[in-house]
Structures are given as structure tokens and as C-alpha cells.
A and B are shown apart, each in its own frame.
Chain A
Amino acid sequence: MSVLVAVALVLTAVGGTAVVLTREPVHQAIVLSVFGLLLAILFVVLQAPDVALSQLVIGAAVLPLMVLLAIAKVRRGERG
């Protein structure tokens, strides 16, 4: 197993742990975006370009955006 795969795997594990341990939702959305990027890099290293394409757009852009918008909606409800 090459060093590249090992490094990518370890980074992914660290990223996943960071996502779970970040309690504040807005910060967690940012960490989730970085985790999505790390996952996409892992998928490229594992020779899966199709999966990496989906994961990059979804995990780094769409999902954190939806989380942030959900937080905004909830906070608007709290204020109004």
C-alpha cells in the first residue's frame, strides 16, 4: 500500500473526527466542507474519478450550504 493512500486515509479519519467533535453548527459546516474535500482526494487516490466528482461538488459545496441555510432559518425563527 502506497504512502499516498495511507496519508489520505489518515487525513480522512482525522477530518471525520473533527467534524463530529465540532459542536457549534456553523463551525461544523465549515469543517464538513473540508472533510468533503479530503474525501474527494481519497477517492481520487483510490482511482475512482466518478465518485470523486460527485463527492467534491456535494460534500464541499451543496451539503455545507444546506446546513448553513438550515441554521439561518432556525435562527430567524428564534429571533422573529
Chain B
Amino acid sequence: MSRRGRLAVFSVAGLGLAVLLVAAFLDARPFGTAFHPLGDASVRASLLERATANTVASITFDQRGLDTMGEEFILFAAVLGAAVLLRRDREEREAAAPDERREGRGQVGHMPEVIRLAGYLVLPFVVVVGIYVVAHGHLTPGGGFQGGVILATGLHLVYLAGDYPALRWLQTNRIFEVSEAAGAAGYVLLGLAGLAATGAFLYNVMPYGQLGQLASAGTVPLLNAAVGIEVGSGVVLLLAEFLEQTLVLREPGGNRRAGAGG
């Protein structure tokens, strides 16, 4: 179908969809309604029965933990798919080989010293904040998903700092592939522990403790940690797949100048 035909069909369909949406919205509950029966029941369950201060974390990992396992594995599969799609085929590997032998000593481009220093200075703070967000996910806003991506972006401060040899080491060492699999497996193992103890998968088998304490909410902190490791490693792997080509063929001020930004 031609471009004009496509846009014409879309304008008709889009108009119809808009009309239907407005009709549906006119019938919806008013914005800010006080009628949230499921939400109120979840809050009661989280505070009174499960001693979890962060009710969102209680729903994500305790009351509806199976859905989170599914979402975690969507992430796993997406990282796997991206890795498969972006693997270097034979011609690219041969083209890249001589440059790779020459690289490995220098740094990426001409990174100003200030940026490199700032990257190294901020990195430990970002890692600590990421671990804090994961560890306190059942008490304050945060958790495995949020802390995991903070950790992953923290690691890419190393890239911003221009430390090419460190990134090369990280990529060839397969450490993040192992940790991602370990995080995903950890979640399933905790679920199996619940299955073994009570016959229900992902049942919360650890003692609930007292509301507001660090050691509370049963298995929620452990599941948070597993998801944090898995999400963090997954996002690092994902970005590494995209960075790989733009890193390997860079030469500091050389003739084969290729890199981010075109």
C-alpha cells in the first residue's frame, strides 16, 4: 500500500478509535475517585498480614509474585534476543581482528581529564545508591527493578570515563552473563523453596518479622536481591551488545574514525 493510502486509512481508523476512546472515558470513573476496593485490600494485607511497609513491593513480590517472574523472564529473553541478533558474523569479525590487536592499550578518543575524574568519583556513590535501593525495596520506594537499572547505568560511567581496558575486561569475562542467569535462577529457586515447604509456588516461607524493620516481609528482600542482580546484569549486557561495535573499531585520532554520533 502506498504511503498516502496508508495515511488515509490511518486517519479514518484513528478518528474512529478516538471517538470510541472518548466515549469510553466519559463512562469511566472520575479521576481521583475514592473507590479502590482491590487497592485497599492489598494495602490491608500488606501492612497487617505481611509486615511490608512498601505496599507496591508487597504486591510485586509477595501477593502477585508469579507475574513478576514472568516479567523478569521477558527481560531475560529480550536480552538473549538482542545478543543473538547483534552477534558479529564472520566478515565483521575478520574486519575487526587487526584493529583489536592494535587496541587494548589506549583509551577511547580524547576524553577530557575532568570527565574521566568525575566518572570515577561518582561511580562508587552510584553503586552504593543502587545497592541501597535494592536492599530497602520493601521499606521505601524502590526495589529490584529500580535498583538494578541504577546499578547498570552506574557501570556505564566507566564507559563515560573512557576506561576502555576495564570495559574490555568486563565484556570478555562473561561475569554478567553468569550473574544474570544466577539472578533469574535465584528467583525460581526461592519459589521452589515455597513449593517444597507448603505446596504453593513462591509462597512466602520466611518469617514476616516486624513492620518497618530491615529484616521484615519474609522473602521479599531476597526476591528483590535476585531481581536486582538479574535486571542490573541484563541491562549491562544489553548496553554492552550495542557498545561493542562502537568501541572495538575506535582509534585515538586514527584514520579509521568510527564511533557514536556518526
| B-binding residues in A (CB < 8 A) | 1, 26, 49-50, 53-54, 57-58, 61-62, 65-66, 68-73, 75-76, 79-80
Contact = CB atoms under 8 A, between A and B. Distances in A.
A53 B249 contact: no
Interface of B: 31-32, 54, 56-57, 95, 133, 141-143, 145-146, 149-150, 152-153, 156, 235, 238-239, 242-243, 245-246, 249, 258-262
20 contacts: A49-B141, A50-B57, A50-B142, A53-B141, A53-B142, A53-B146, A57-B146, A57-B150, A57-B153, A61-B153, A66-B238, A66-B239, A68-B260, A69-B242, A72-B246, A72-B261, A75-B262, A76-B262, A79-B258, A80-B258
Nearest to A66: B242
A61 B260 CA distance: 15
Contacts, number: 64
A57 B246 contact: no
A53 B82 CA distance: 25
Contact of B149 (A49, A57, A80): A57
Contacts of A61: 153
Nearest to B56: A50
B153 A76 contact: no
